[in-house]
Structure 1
Amino acid sequence: MIWVWVVAAVMLTAAAMITMFRLLAGPSTLDRLVALDTFVAVSMCAIGTWAAFSLDTTVTYSLTALALISFVGSVSVARFRVRDDVPSDAAHDAGNRS
């Protein structure tokens, strides 16, 4: 039965490493936001897996806190972000004149 926990830990670690690569190398703000949401989801899965492995339910309260903070953070960034390819005012005005 221990091999199930080992496989789960290896898969979660691999998912976290791939997600961290996307978080650091993401070409745009929204790519990084999606990677951060994915990383939080992988972290929540890891916490849930640890709770099942250790039979300790006290860590499950952190799942609720992570879910709420992640949702509020994602909505805030998506709502108030600045475009990555903002044109300069002169180029933008010249484009509107024609």
Structure 2
Amino acid sequence: MTAATIQAIGIYVSASLLLVAVLAAAMRIVRGPGGPDRVVALDLLSLLGVAAAAMAVVISGSTAFMDIALGVALVGFLTTVAFAAFIERGSINEEEER
């Protein structure tokens, strides 16, 4: 086996696992029992977006995707902090969701 073949197999395996993780996070966002569970799943989804951009760097060799990964990470962090503030303030009430 050549190095290119091993890299191609690794990319396919990584992409498959990334897709499974995205589906699991999306299911938790839809079915999550409470607001905090949904916020954690949304944070995981943004992390998976960063991982997808990193995979795009490996596949294409273009470093432009690193800027995209940085932007997705920043937006994901800010949304997690904002949702945490809403939960702490009580704007997102778990009792109303049930």
Q: What TM-score do the two structures reach when normalised by structure 2?
A: 0.81
Tell me how far 1:85 sits from its aligned partner: 2.4
Q: 2:17 pairs with 5, 8, 11, which one? A: 11
- What RMSD over aligned residues (CA atoms) do the two structures have, in Å? 1.2
Partner of 1:85: 95
In structure 2, how many angstroms separate the alpha carbons of the residues matched to 1:65 and 1:85? Answer: 34
Aligned residue in 2 for 1:31: 37
1:39 Cα offset (Å): 0.7
Amino acid at match of 1:85: E
Matches of residues 36-51 of structure 1 in structure 2 within 5 Å? 36-51=42-57
Q: Which moved more, 1:8-17 or 1:67-76?
A: 67-76
Counterpart in the other structure of 1:64: 70
The structure having more radius of gyration, on CA atoms, is: 1
Structure 2 gaps, min length 5 = 1-5
Q: Which 4+ residue blocks in structure 1 deviate beyond 6 angstroms?
A: none
Note if 1:22 corresponds to 2:32.
no
Deviation at 1:27, TM superposition (A): 0.8
TM-score by length of 1: 0.81
Q: How far, CA to CA, are the matches of 2:35 and 2:23 in structure 1?
A: 19
SS at match of 1:85: helix
Amino acid at match of 2:86: F
Identical aligned residues as a percent: 26
